[in-house]
Amino acid sequence: MELSQKCGDKCSQQLEENNKLRLLNTRKQEENVQLLFDLSLAKAENEKEQQIRSQIEKQLSDTNIIADQLTNLTQKTEKNDSDLHDMKSHYENLFAEQVNNIKKLVKERELLHLYIQRLEIENTSLVKITNDDDTVKLLNYSSQSPGTYEEAWGLIVKLREQIIQQLKMKEKLKNDIQQLQYNHKADLREREQIEQLLNRDLNTAKDEIIVLQSLQTEYERVMSLKNNLEKQLEERVNELKATKTVANSFTNQLKEKLEQITKAKVKEKTKIRSLKLH
């Protein structure tokens, strides 16, 4: 009876271990789902950043704010580089965690296999050293019962599938990291091209500004000359008006003198005629 009790305790212990393994697998699956969800969020965030970058690139047509836009773009690119570095570190940590989880699963599978083998060896040994038919039947049932052995075997199969899924997840994360690295390099190349275009446009704008400054200087010179000419013209007009006024005054005086002379002549003639008559 003590032997039967021991076998029952071992079977109960084995069932408890199996339940723990099931809970562990469930927890690992939930962690994998969370990892996939985090990865989807990261991809969505990356796509959102690309859309924002595209919108910013479309707004670079205004040459009057090229310098400010270049500064903003540089700051944003640095922020994206920092975010990408943080994201890469995050996924490297996730990858390392998954590797550790896989190692744990493999180790647990090996321990389970060894545990089952040990149980089988112990049961076989117990069968050989006892003559109790009921005990033999109980031991045979505990070692060969489909309810325990097949369940353990099914758990092993599930663990194998879980390991395969973890390996697939590892490969997927590796591909995602490579894709992020590729996108990062593409963003750097794109930023360099944009900076080259902006530098070219900036140089062109500087040349145009120099030309405009030259034109403005020439315009200011012409306007100054025009103002001087207008001022001189106004002075000449004023002088001409003054001269005309003087001329009119002189003419009027001359007319008055002529009238006076004419009157004097008439008076003199009249006086002479009067003298002749007398």
Domain locations in the chain? 2-212
Task: Please tell me the total number of residues recorded for the chain in this structure.
Answer: 278
The residue type found at 181 is Q
**What would you measure as the largest C-alpha separation in the chain, in angstroms?**
206
* CA pseudo-torsion sign 189, 191, 193, 196: negative
CB atoms within 10 A of CB 93: 10
From 77-81, 107-111, 191-195, 196-200, the region with the lowest mean pLDDT: 77-81
Nearest Cα to Cα of residue 103 among 155, 166, 35:
166
pLDDT at 125 over 60: no
pLDDT at 138 over 60: no
pLDDT at 154 over 60: yes
Nearest Cα to Cα of residue 162 among 118, 246, 104, 117:
104
CB atoms within 10 A of CB 148: 18
Over residues 129-157, the mean pLDDT reads 52
The per-residue pLDDT for range 194-236, each reduced to its tens digit, is: 678 777 877 777 787 787 777 778 877 877 777 777 777 777 7
Are 94 and 236 spatial neighbours (Cβ–Cβ below 8 Å)?
no
CB atoms within 10 A of CB 169: 19
C-alpha–C-alpha distance, residues 276 and 274, integer Å: 5
The residue type found at 205 is A
Give pLDDT, residue 142: 43
Over residues 163-170, the mean pLDDT reads 76
C-alpha–C-alpha distance, residues 189 and 198, integer Å: 14
Percent of the chain whose pLDDT exceeds 90: 0
pLDDT at 155 over 50: yes
C-alpha–C-alpha distance, residues 202 and 158, integer Å: 63
38-67 per-residue burial string, b: 16 or more CB within 10 A, e: under 16: ebeebeeebeebeeebeeeeeebeeeeebe
Over residues 244-271, the mean pLDDT reads 73
pLDDT at 105 over 60: no
Give pLDDT, residue 200: 80
pLDDT at 163 over 70: yes
Nearest Cα to Cα of residue 72 among 196, 195, 181:
195
